[in-house]
Structure 1
Amino acid sequence: MNIALLGYGKMGKTIEKIAQERNHTVVLKTTSSDDTIDLTKADVAIDFSIPSAAYVNIKTCIEQNTPVISGTTGWLHNYEDIVKLCNAKNGTFLYASNFSLGVNIFFELNKKLSQLMAKRSDYKVSLEEIHHTQKLDAPSGTAITIANTIIGQTDYNNWTLKKPALSEIKINAKRIENVPGTHSVTYDSKIDSIEIKHTAHNRKGFALGAIVAAEWIATKKGVFTMNDVLNIG
């Protein structure tokens, strides 16, 4: 499979290494958005760029009929526009706030736990996410996905980085040098606490998940998520 890497930072380099280990070829590497790039040699594009570049990158791929997956966060105010374009062009698009296979299993655990805790008003839920200091957005897209899942299963109606109201979920976003990504959900009461946690040890899990998703999506049409790739949920 021929792969275009849109974004060639630390994650892009890790994806390239794993792609080569799985006998794929990287035919294009870009470090900024460019709607004139030629994707004719690529079977699939993987976008791990920056928020200001992601929308143009994804739009360009769809317009050039190149299946594209994106793990860039911070651009989702334009997500519905991309979905509409993808459907109009009969294109192929997959977005995930986190491509780690373990994190996507964690998402399902979070959903189930939030269902179990939905009517337990004696417990207050909170989230913590820790990432490296180069991460541009806060909270992380993964933390937002976790929070929105809880909101969808409970009476909470919003998340916040500030002091929360009773109907809000507090997200504590930390930036610490050389932390690939840690996410935890805690339900705390006067009697006890319940916590689930995912800790990434390096970037390989994210990169492997991106390659697995690219392999899965390359011959398909439509808008997908990692649940489709992993057949879960």
Structure 2
Amino acid sequence: MKIALLGYGKMGKTIEKIAIERGHTIVLKVDKDDTTYDLSEADVAIDFSIPGAAVNNITNCFNANVPVVSGTTGWLDHYDDILKLCNEKKGSFIYASNYSLGVNLFFELNKKLAKMMNPLEGYSIAMEEIHHTEKLDAPSGTAITLAEGVIQNTDKKAWQLDDGDENTIPIVAKRIDKVPGTHTVTYSSLVDDIEIKHTAHNRNGFALGAVVAAEWLKDKTGVYSMKDVLGL
């Protein structure tokens, strides 16, 4: 498979390594400042750029009829427009806040736990995410996905950065050098705490999941998620 890398930072370089190990070829590497490029040789594109470049990158892929896997976060206020454009162009698109196969299982575990906890009185919920100091957005897209999973299965109405009340989920975002990503969901009461946690040891899990998603998306049309890729 011929892959275009849209975004060639640390994640892009890790994806390149994993993709080559899986027998694929990298035919294009787009840096964060590049706005025009030729996608004609690519079978699929993987976008791990920056929030300000993601919409342009995804749009370029739709216009070039190239399936695109996007892992860039911080641009989701344009998400509905991108879905509309994908359908208009009969494109192929997967967005995930986190492509780690383990994290996507964690998402499902989080929803199940939230559903079980909802009827119980006396528990408050809080979330914490820790990432490297180069991460541009806060809270992380993964933390937002976790919060949305709780909201879907409880009486909570929204999430809020740092603070919360009985109707919202507080998310504490910390930035610590060289931390690939740690996410914790905690239910606390006067008698006990229940906690689930995912800790990434390196970027390889994110990169592998993105390449697996690209392999799955090739030759398909439509909008999909990692639940589709993993058959969850």
The answer to whether 1:19 aligns with 2:19 is yes
The answer to whether 1:50 aligns with 2:50 is yes
Q: Equivalents in 2 of 1:59, 1:120: separation in Å?
A: 45
Give the structure 2 partner of residue 165 of structure 1.
165
Q: Which runs of 5+ in 1 are unaligned?
A: none
SS at match of 1:98: coil
Equivalent AA in structure 2 for residue 163 of structure 1: D
Identity percentage of aligned residues: 65
Aligned-pair CA distance for 1:166: 1.2
SS at match of 1:172: strand
The answer to whether 1:117 aligns with 2:117 is yes
Instruction: State whether residues 127 and 172 of structure 2, in contact with CA within 8 Å, keep that contact through their aligned partners in structure 1.
Output: yes
SS at match of 2:16: helix
The answer to whether 1:62 aligns with 2:69 is no
Give the structure 2 partner of residue 6 of structure 1.
6
Q: Equivalents in 1 of 2:144, 2:200: separation in Å?
A: 17
Equivalent AA in structure 1 for residue 44 of structure 2: V
SS at match of 2:46: strand
Equivalent AA in structure 2 for residue 125 of structure 1: I
Q: Equivalents in 2 of 1:84, 1:198: separation in Å?
A: 33
Q: Equivalents in 1 of 2:87, 2:35: separation in Å?
A: 19
Aligned-pair CA distance for 1:35: 4.8
With normalisation by structure 1, the TM-score equals: 0.98
Equivalent AA in structure 1 for residue 159 of structure 2: W
Moved over 2 A (4+): 32-36
Equivalent AA in structure 2 for residue 95 of structure 1: Y
Give the structure 2 partner of residue 37 of structure 1.
37
Q: Equivalents in 2 of 1:195, 1:33: separation in Å?
A: 41
Instruction: State whether residues 147 and 159 of structure 2, in contact with CA within 8 Å, keep that contact through their aligned partners in structure 1.
Output: yes
Q: Equivalents in 2 of 1:164, 1:3: separation in Å?
A: 42
- Calculate the aligned-residue CA RMSD, in Å: 0.9
Aligned-pair CA distance for 1:212: 0.2
Q: Equivalents in 2 of 1:69, 1:153: separation in Å?
A: 28
With normalisation by structure 2, the TM-score equals: 0.98
Superposed counterparts of 1:68-87, under 5 Å: 68-87=68-87
Aligned-pair CA distance for 1:34: 4.6
Give the structure 2 partner of residue 222 of structure 1.
222
Cα-to-partner distance string for 1:21-76 (whole Å, 9 max, x where unaligned): 01100000011265531101000000000000000000110111000000000000
Q: Equivalents in 2 of 1:65, 1:3: separation in Å?
A: 13
Q: Equivalents in 2 of 1:35, 1:219: separation in Å?
A: 25
Aligned-pair CA distance for 1:84: 0.4
Q: Equivalents in 2 of 1:36, 1:49: separation in Å?
A: 14
Give the structure 2 partner of residue 189 of structure 1.
189
Q: Equivalents in 1 of 2:231, 2:160: separation in Å?
A: 31
Aligned-pair CA distance for 1:207: 0.2
Aligned-pair CA distance for 1:192: 0.4
SS at match of 1:170: strand
Give the structure 2 partner of residue 198 of structure 1.
198
Give the structure 2 partner of residue 153 of structure 1.
153
Give the structure 2 partner of residue 98 of structure 1.
98
Q: Which runs of 5+ in 2 are unaligned?
A: none
Equivalent AA in structure 2 for residue 137 of structure 1: D
Instruction: State whether residues 33 and 54 of structure 1, in contact with CA within 8 Å, keep that contact through their aligned partners in structure 2.
Output: no
Q: Equivalents in 2 of 1:190, 1:215: separation in Å?
A: 48
